[in-house]
């Protein structure tokens, strides 16, 4: 089945990103299908986060097209772009929580921005609901980021990303820095939320276990572009040396064996 047979929510065509003379992306294409979890991988410096920033409007490509949820994102007036941004949520690396706000207050920030007429009692109720959705205990709400563990910070960031009931979720290295048990638990949470909320997920990761456990397809960035997109078996069938080294190296084989046991269990 091709991308033409699916509804697409993100289309990137011919994108070029450069910082001075350093070219990060050149003629990069990518399509994300509605309802899928797409993993994005690549070596250090290949611009995975730059690609995400280009899609969400924090980085303006020097060339190319970016369309999200059927809308062109490049050069769009701020008031129009804001209406599109309310339809997605973002979990940045390390949570990116406001340190002077509690968890509940962090979750309320985007709600206050887009729905300033909502009164505090309802705001607090929505924040409590998002905290529960992210598998945090109720006592996390009044805590500050400095009082949270790494795993709790990730979940608090996720709760904020879900604040506006998005249809599209961007996750930048969501399991980085977590121990294997916490990372697996976070993967299960993402998969559960994706199914319950019918989310489309754009997930940057280097975690092979995550790729095997929850991603429908994986996009590989190398040579300043997306060199391949597909299921892991489809990628394994390619002969590109980086893909083979990544998925058939010791860690890749270990993740594959672990996934096989998980499926058989």
pLDDT for 262 beyond 80 = no
Average pLDDT over residues 138-164: 94
Q: Which long-range contacts (C-beta less than 8 Å, at least 24 apart) are formed by 49-54?
A: 49/93, 49/172, 49/204, 50/17, 50/24, 50/25, 51/12, 51/15, 51/17, 51/25, 51/221, 52/170, 52/172, 52/202, 52/204, 54/12, 54/15, 54/17, 54/25
CA distance linking residue 32 with residue 11, whole number of Å: 7
Q: Percentage of the chain surpassing pLDDT 90?
A: 78
Give the closest residue to 168 by CA, choosing from 112, 91, 108: 91
Q: What is the pLDDT of residue 167?
A: 96
Q: Which residue has the higher pLDDT, 82 or 196?
A: 196
Q: What is the pLDDT of residue 83?
A: 87
pLDDT for 198 beyond 90 = yes
Burial of 5 (0-12, 13-18, 19+ CB in 10 A): exposed
144-148, 243-247, 249-253: the lowest-pLDDT one? 249-253
86-90, 143-147, 208-212, 245-249: the lowest-pLDDT one? 245-249
Q: Spell out the residues 6+ positions from residue 60 whose beta carbon is closer than 8 angstroms to its own.
A: 54, 74, 75
Mean predicted lDDT score pLDDT of the chain: 91
Query: Quick count: other Cβ atoms within 10 Å of Cβ 123?
Result: 18
Q: How confident is the model at residue 3 (pLDDT cuts 50, 70, 90)?
A: low
Query: Quick count: other Cβ atoms within 10 Å of Cβ 18?
Result: 15
Return the H-helix or E-strand segment holding 48.
Answer: helix 48-56
pLDDT for 260 beyond 70 = no
pLDDT for 1 beyond 70 = no
Q: What is the pLDDT of residue 93?
A: 82
CA distance linking residue 128 with residue 136, whole number of Å: 10
Strands 22-33, 225-230: pairing is unpaired
Give the closest residue to 221 by CA, choosing from 9, 93, 46, 88: 46
pLDDT for 259 beyond 70 = no
Q: How confident is the model at residue 77 (pLDDT cuts 50, 70, 90)?
A: confident
Strands 63-68, 71-72: pairing is antiparallel
Q: Percentage of the chain surpassing pLDDT 70?
A: 93
Average pLDDT over residues 126-139: 95
pLDDT for 243 beyond 90 = yes
pLDDT for 223 beyond 70 = yes
Phi and psi angles of residue 45, each rounded to the nearest 5 degrees, phi first: 85, 5
Instruction: Provide the token pair at 68.
Output: 């999200």
Q: What is the pLDDT of residue 252?
A: 65
Q: Give 93's DSSP letter.
A: T
Q: What is the pLDDT of residue 81?
A: 84
Give the closest residue to 74 by CA, choosing from 57, 90, 87: 57
Is residue 109 helix, strand or coil?
A: helix
Q: What is the pLDDT of residue 29?
A: 97
Residue carrying the six token digits 């409007």: 57
Q: What is the pLDDT of residue 66?
A: 95
In degrees, to the nearest 5, what angle opens at C-alpha 137 toward C-alphas 132 and 143? 110
Q: What is the pLDDT of residue 75?
A: 83
Give the closest residue to 130 by CA, choosing from 98, 153, 97, 108: 108
Is this prediction's pTM over 0.85? yes
């Amino acid at each position: 089945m091709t991308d033409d047979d699916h509804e697409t929510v993100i289309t990137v065509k011919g994108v070029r990103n450069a910082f001075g003379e350093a070219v990060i992306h050149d003629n990069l294409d990518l399509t994300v299908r509605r309802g899928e979890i797409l993993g994005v991988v690549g070596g250090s410096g290949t611009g995975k986060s730059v690609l995400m920033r280009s899609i969400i409007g924090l980085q303006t490509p020097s060339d190319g097209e970016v369309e999200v949820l059927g809308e062109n994102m490049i050069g769009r007036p701020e008031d129009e772009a804001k209406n599109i941004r309310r339809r997605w949520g973002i979990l940045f690396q390390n949570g990116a929580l406001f340190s002077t706000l509690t968890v509940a207050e962090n979750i309320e920030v985007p709600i206050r921005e887009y729905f300033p007429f909502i009164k505090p009692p309802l705001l607090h109720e929505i924040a409590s609901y998002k905290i529960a959705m992210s598998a945090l205990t109720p006592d996390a709400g009044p805590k500050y980021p400095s009082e949270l563990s790494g795993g709790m910070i990730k979940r608090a960031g996720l709760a904020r990303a879900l604040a506006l009931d998005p249809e599209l979720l961007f996750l930048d290295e969501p399991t980085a820095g977590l121990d294997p048990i916490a990372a697996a638990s976070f993967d299960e949470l993402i998969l559960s939320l994706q199914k319950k909320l019918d989310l489309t997920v754009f997930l940057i990761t280097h975690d092979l276990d995550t790729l095997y456990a929850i991603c429908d397809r994986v996009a590989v960035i190398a040579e300043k572009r997306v060199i391949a997109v597909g299921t892991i078996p489809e990628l394994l069938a390619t002969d590109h040396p980086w893909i083979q080294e990544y998925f058939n190296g010791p860690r890749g084989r270990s993740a594959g064996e672990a996934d096989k046991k998980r499926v058989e269990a």
